[in-house]
Amino acid sequence: SWGCQIFSGHDPAHVEDASALVVTAAVPQDHPEIQRAREIGIPVMKRAEALGGWVNQGTVVAVAGTHGKTTTTAMATEALFAAGMDPTGFVGGRVLDWESNLRFGSDKLFVVEADEHDRSFHHLRPTVAVLNNLEADHLDIYGDLDGVQEAFEAFLDCVHADGQVVACGDDHGVSRLLAGLGRPTRTYGLNPGAQLRGIELRQEGGGASFQIVESGESRGEITLQVPGRHNVLNALGAAAAARSLGAGWDEIAQGLASFKGVSRRFQVLGEVGGVTVVDDYAHHPSEIEATLDAARDRFPGRRLVAVFQPHLFSRTRDFADAFGKALAGADVVWVTEVYPAREDPLPGVTGVLVAQAALASGACDVSFHASLEELPEALLPSVEAGDVCLTMGAGSIEFLGSDLLAALEDRHAERGGVS
């Protein structure tokens, strides 16, 4: 509908009439279309560079952080739209209301997910920068936490001189970064020192609600359709961004209340025979911990069965112990083999490391099953009525939930519809 010509498959001929070739980090440099573009002099640019070239022509709200970028970006877009603006929102996941990762608006206002991988966010020139959190990640690129912090410092240097930085004061990594920033910053969070603060948190049904306090003044209640303390913080970051552009509190509350969520972010896929299946993109130890905490809030008293597919050999090597500790928060733990994505295998690095770490962290019921395809049938004896099964990871595990529901349907039918 936008006049784009879509090709299926890979062929050097696809680039012959192109003005430029835009590639993501997942595409190897020896790809035949990239090689052909270079042979005939067609510029090859990273996706992040192309995105910056587009959005930097307008007002940019850039949402950065190790976690929560997609949800916060989508929330901020909805809040600004409710306030009478018509922003373009661009995120790394499928927003349920948009049925896409893109909401195309008519204003020259762009709310974008600022990806730190490979320093992609350095191509943005934000008017408002949101900083959710800062932890060690992408250590194959940055080496250590100091390297990550330096990349975020450089990102904040990209903010316009008269722009606004809003940052989560609850996060230790963010606080460490802000201490040496040398520019005014607006903080949000749950702690008493935050300029924009959430208080009186309540988990209600499938979502959460809280009271907003801005500079000591009560601003009313925010109700969310998504659960968890982490989503309250995401909403506070989105609200702070919207306030920086003049949105009123009634409109912000309306926009946040309308937000239904993002695909693979605590997405309840269904329930069969009393077993609820939830899918989440969690692929970092802190994200697993937040997802399990949200599940405890959303489904109190129910047994949690965590199924995790590690993502990247380097990340598995660097965080195996932390993954195990986070997964030990579930009642039952299943680990499958590493999803390699862009990486080649590393000697001795497999999903077994994570399973062993979960056992060492006190988990009592831990299983490793290398084959994702066979996992639904392997899982069946472990799940019964009342359980919540959470599939987590950034790779092909996204398809496991629907396969598990189908297996549960078959079992339910075999039992004569009795749970």
pLDDT for res 419 = 67
CA distances from 159 to 49, 62, 128, 237, 277 (A): 16, 9, 7, 17, 41
Nearest to 345 by CA among 336, 337, 357: 337
Are residues 270 and 405 in contact, defined by beta-carbon separation less than 8 angstroms? yes
Helix (H, G, I), strand (E, B) or coil at 20: coil
pLDDT for res 154 = 97
Residue 143's CB is within 10 A of a number of other CB atoms, namely 12
Interatomic CA distance for residues 413 and 407, integer angstroms: 10
Asked whether the CA dihedral 231, 234, 239, 242 is positive or negative, the reply is negative
Residue ranges covered by each domain of the chain: 1-42, 49-258, 267-414
Interatomic CA distance for residues 419 and 417, integer angstroms: 6
Class of domain 267-414: alpha beta
The pair of structure tokens assigned to 370 is: 């290398």
Strand bridging mode 388-392 / 275-280: parallel
Report angle CA 264, 249, 191 to the nearest 5 degrees: 70
Q: Which residues pair with 278 in a beta bridge?
A: 268, 390
Are residues 294 and 201 in contact, defined by beta-carbon separation less than 8 angstroms? no
Q: What is the dihedral of CA 277, 278, 283, 285, to 10 degrees?
A: -90
Are residues 108 and 131 in contact, defined by beta-carbon separation less than 8 angstroms? no
pLDDT for res 143 = 96
Provide the residue type at 51 as one letter.
L
User: For the domain bounded by 49-258, which CATH number is listed?
Assistant: 3.40.1190.10
Backbone angles phi, psi at 19, to 5 degrees: -85, -30
pLDDT along the chain (419 residues), means of 10: 84 94 90 97 95 97 98 99 98 96 98 95 98 96 96 97 96 94 92 97 93 97 97 98 98 98 97 98 97 96 98 98 98 98 95 98 97 96 97 98 97 83
Q: Which residues pair with 112 in a beta bridge?
A: 62, 90
Nearest to 73 by CA among 207, 261, 348, 248: 261
Interatomic CA distance for residues 213 and 227, integer angstroms: 20
Interatomic CA distance for residues 302 and 15, integer angstroms: 53
Segment (H or E) for 113 = strand 109-113
Are residues 338 and 348 in contact, defined by beta-carbon separation less than 8 angstroms? no
The pair of structure tokens assigned to 118 is: 């490979």
Say if pTM beats, i.e. exceeds, 0.75: yes
Nearest to 91 by CA among 73, 68, 109, 118: 73
Are residues 391 and 400 in contact, defined by beta-carbon separation less than 8 angstroms? yes
Helix (H, G, I), strand (E, B) or coil at 211: strand
Are residues 164 and 140 in contact, defined by beta-carbon separation less than 8 angstroms? no
> For the chain, what's the residue count?
419
Q: What DSSP state is assigned to residue 311?
A: B
Are residues 160 and 154 in contact, defined by beta-carbon separation less than 8 angstroms? no
Strand bridging mode 88-95 / 185-189: unpaired
Catalytic residues: 69-70, 113
